[in-house]
Chains A and B, each alone.
Chain A
Amino acid sequence: MSAETAVPQEPGRPPPASGFKIAAQDVNVHYGEKHALRHVSIDIRPREVTAFIGPSGCGKSTFLRCLNRMNDVIESCRVSGSITIDGENIYDAAIDVVQLRARVGMVFQKPNPFPKSIYDNVAYGPRIHGLAAGKAELDAVVHTSLERAGLWMEVKDRLRQPGTGLSGGQQQRLCIARAIAVSPEVILMDEPCSALDPIATAKVEELMDDLRTNYTIIIVTHSMQQAARVSQRTAFFHLGDLVEYGDTEQIFTRPQDERTQGYITGRFG
């Protein structure tokens, strides 16, 4: 990990300890007139699962989508502030968005495999980025990606069949395999289990725990139990503000802010 020496620090906040993967400083997001995210500053550690929790419309998904600049697609959306990954400002004009998205993979709320074969789903990313020279190498990338996503044993005999024919949980793990295949450093997951049944959810959660050894994972979730189960760090968002951020255990047992307290005890949300 490179140090965050180039990042200008907001006055009054302690500088991040060296070794943070992502550092966001004073991030604001506007959708047209609406101020969706206010002055968010957060540092995310590498090789950990960080969970974003909060009621609907609190800005947690918006912030997640800032991290790989998926908000660029929305025309009325404006982002200000700085977000650095390994010390590089990803909103810098010199940054190539396409390369950034290869470094910061994303898994969406609803499983969205391409309507192609299972193999092509996983191979698509490596193909367009030229990550594999030749068929054998590509086969190997597909194999390891599916294996890491815990799907290999289930699909190894049907790689040529359409990915859309899998069950919901398998589709979501296929999407994770697709994201892994381009060797990202960070994986963003936007409520990855909200469309899955409890058994599939358990598999994906188990998978996140395994993937943590290689990737920095950020997950947005509505389920506080899930956040408590899978994450090491938790951030609580409310009405566009980052209210509280700390170790998961601390957030769930000794929240500092009364809004956090109210949310995790189910008084609102």
Chain B
Amino acid sequence: MTEVAAIAVPRGQGLGSDARLRRRYAAERRFRLYGMGAIALAVLMLGVLLVSIVSKGYSAFVQTEIALDINFDPAVVDPDGKRDPEALANADYGKLVKTAVQSRFPDVGSREEKRKLNELISGGAQFQLRRMVAADPSLIGTTQRVWFTADDNFDMLNKGYMLRSGDEASRQLSDKQIAWFDALAADGRVRKAFNTTFFTAGDSREPEQAGVWGAVVGTILTMLVTLSMTLPVGVATAIYLEEFAPRNRWTDLIEVNINNLAAVPSIVYGLLGLAVFLGFFGLPRSAPLVGGMVLALIVLPTIIIAGRSALKAVPPSIREAALGVGASPLQVVFHHVLPLATPGILTGTIIGMAHALGESAPLLMIGMVAFIVDIPHGVTDPATVLPVQIFLWADSAERAFVERTSAAIMVLLAVLMAMNALAVILRRRFERRW
């Protein structure tokens, strides 16, 4: 008992009165505040970013449409009267549109004014009529009210982005054009409808006809190429380095180099792809195949590093247990270690793929920045990807591309979120099995 008394706290420095203790608690509170402050700042910035993108881009999901009474004049559509599909396809549907507009505003006389009047309707209107007639030839000879996509400038006017007053010469739309549009609106011939074109079309010089679908398909094809190249190679490398390779100078060298490669600027990989895949192997330009291969080079170090740390995290006792019952090293890896490391490997893969999804610089180098209207059908077709599409639209002059740029960013974020959700689902599944 005497020994215990000797080490007891001296009187006067009892519990709670200790200044050092108070300082410790104060430091703890301070640290917690720093942490909360950091998170608040991050959330604020994310919020500003999202609000800015959504507020600029949400209007791109609706499109102004204008209704016209189209007379499917047999003299224009089918002058021979044979209903020959070939002839129907080659008819001048643009004339039908022009006639309809001009009959609505009969007092417009001069050539210049008629040209301005025709600008009301998107240039895609004639193709819409051609599709209608091809689907239903009995329309010929009738008069129908048809909703057409408005030209992008009138779309902007309807959405309130166009100046209505001020110096007429510096405005996109003249006073007369605005008056025509307002007259149509007063007739109930103007409406806003869901912009399906944006989700189904490829790129276009006309904003009202431009869509992200081409870029989405290009992105999916590119990502598939990247995934199918990096996952097997990356996982095999990680397994070999972590489980089988002897620890010596060579493997140290390889490890250092893999870590360095993860930090190489992506444009350098783009130049490499340009020189090797296009220059030396002569693979097609602007193709998702080459884009995917270049992105695979960029993602590979990330997947290897993530895979190795996932394998390293599997407790050694599992390896010992499997070896102890006589499993061969390969069986140890494939029956026990790899399944346990799969969630970690998947997470690393998704992080790498998300990185690749947002990459644009290396793809510029291999020509995926080209203006491509058609939807790609395979990995060798010319294509573009979402980040490059955003870059192209952000660079375009038309006011209507501003909202489409933000809308495309939203689509990109949605694709990213879908990928992350997929990763979470896959992880859950793999984890539940154990």
Q: Give the B-binding residues of A (Cβ under 8 A).
A: 68, 70, 73, 75, 98-102, 105-108, 110, 112-116, 124-125, 128-129, 162, 175, 178-179, 181-182
Contacts and interface: CB of A to CB of B under 8 A. Distances in A.
Given A115-B434, A124-B335, A179 B325 contact: yes
11 contacts: A70-B320, A75-B247, A98-B327, A100-B326, A105-B324, A110-B317, A116-B434, A124-B322, A128-B325, A129-B326, A182-B325
Interface in B319-336: 319-328, 331, 335-336
B318 interface: yes
A178 B325 contact: yes
Nearest to A175: B321
Interface of B: 246-247, 315, 317-328, 331, 335-336, 340, 434
Given A102-B325, A128-B331, 13 more contacts: A70-B323, A101-B324, A105-B324, A108-B321, A108-B324, A113-B321, A115-B340, A116-B434, A124-B335, A128-B326, A175-B321, A179-B324, A181-B325
Contacts, number: 65
A97 to B, nearest CB: 9
Nearest to A109: B317
A112 B321 contact: yes
Nearest to B431: A115
A106 B317 CA distance: 12
B322 A114 contact: yes
Contacts of B315: 112
A-B pairs, top 4 by smallest CB distance, nearest first, are A102-B326, A112-B317, A106-B324, A125-B325
Contacts of A106: 320, 324
Contact of A98 (B318, B326, B434): B326
A125 B246 contact: no
B432 to A, nearest CB: 11
A114 B320 contact: no
B325 A108 contact: no
A76 to B, nearest CB: 9
A141 to B, nearest CB: 13
A101 B326 CA distance: 5
A114 B336 contact: yes
Contacts of A115: 318, 340, 434
Given A75-B246, A75-B247, A124-B335, A114 B326 contact: no
B320 A162 contact: no
B325 A105 contact: yes
Contacts of B320: 70, 73, 106, 108, 112
Contact of B323 (A99, A101, A178): A101
A260 B340 CA distance: 44
A98 B328 contact: yes
Contacts of B335: 124, 128
A107 B434 CA distance: 22
A68 B324 contact: yes
Contacts of B324: 68, 70, 101, 105-108, 179
Contact of B434 (A68, A162, A179): A162
A193 to B, nearest CB: 16
Most buried by A among B320, B322, B340: B320
A72 to B, nearest CB: 9
B162 to A, nearest CB: 64
Nearest to A107: B324
Contacts of B246: 75
Contacts of B331: 128
Contacts of A181: 325
Contacts of B323: 70, 73, 101
